[in-house]
Amino acid sequence: MTQTDGTGRHRAGQSRTYLMCPPDYFAVEYAINPWMNPGEPIDTVLAARQWRQLRDTFTRLGHTVRTIDPVPGLPDMVFAANGATVIGGRVLGARFRHPQRAAEGDAYLSWFARNGYPAVAPSSVNEGEGDIVFAGRVILAGHGYRTDPAVSRELEALFGLPVVSLRLVDPRFYHLDTALCVLGAGTVACYPGAFDDASRAALASLFPTLIEAKDEDAEVLGLNAVSDGRHVVLPAQAAGLAAQLADNGFEPVPVDVSEFRKSGGGPKCCTLEIRETRQSALAPAP
């Protein structure tokens, strides 16, 4: 299916494969980002229902969802995006900054190995698609709070793509996927205040269309979204951003994942894309 943007161009969605982890052990037991407050209880029943609704949304849109078994004692394992980066069927594992999450890296690497993917253990600290964003012809790599800038060399060596480093400067947006979402060919949505001047300039040079999220939408993690090139699954509370997306020819698909925001997460945090090839509808047109 296609949808036309304001210029008459057609946006076509592309079927994707996602890996997700059920929130069986999800909780806020420690604080490693400004969103986390162990004193604020999680409604585990509601979290499970919101996770299922997110999974069902992906399948309704025509995507394939695979699951990894959660591990007791790893409450943040539900945030599958942090578990690895997969491009062209190759996998770079994650190495977490904080010891509370360290064991997640091995759990995800083991899943990929069992399922026949050539998986590489990382040398540098990197938190998977939390900070590493595939943009078709380049890889965007966030740093400043979690991922080490040195991961750029590993990414270039493994995936054979140039890497553009982006520095995050607002601790609320501790991962790149909380401040930016590549939407489609040549189009990105971002919160400019999350980046330093050089990174904002780099984004402007890379993407002909840059949708700037307002404060109120960034502050509900509205940019922690998943795009298939047409549909954009985003937090339901980011109504202003949804309207901006629609104005640019995308079809916003709001979901309520408010329980996961208590840990600094949203739809993208819960979703790791398994890319079998490097070809993508997100690649900018020649």
Do 51 and 22 meet the contact criterion of CB atoms below 8 Å apart? yes
Alpha-carbon span 142 to 195, nearest angstrom: 9
Do 261 and 162 meet the contact criterion of CB atoms below 8 Å apart? no
Any idea which residues carry the catalytic annotation?
A: 175, 269
> For 75, which DSSP code?
G
The alpha carbon of residue 73 and the mean position of all alpha carbons in its chain are separated, in whole angstroms, by 23
Alpha-carbon span 123 to 201, nearest angstrom: 29
Q: Which helix (H) or strand (E) holds 108?
A: helix 102-114
**Cα dihedral sign, 28-34-40-44:** negative
Do 128 and 120 meet the contact criterion of CB atoms below 8 Å apart? no
Amino acid at 207: F
Alpha-carbon span 178 to 196, nearest angstrom: 15
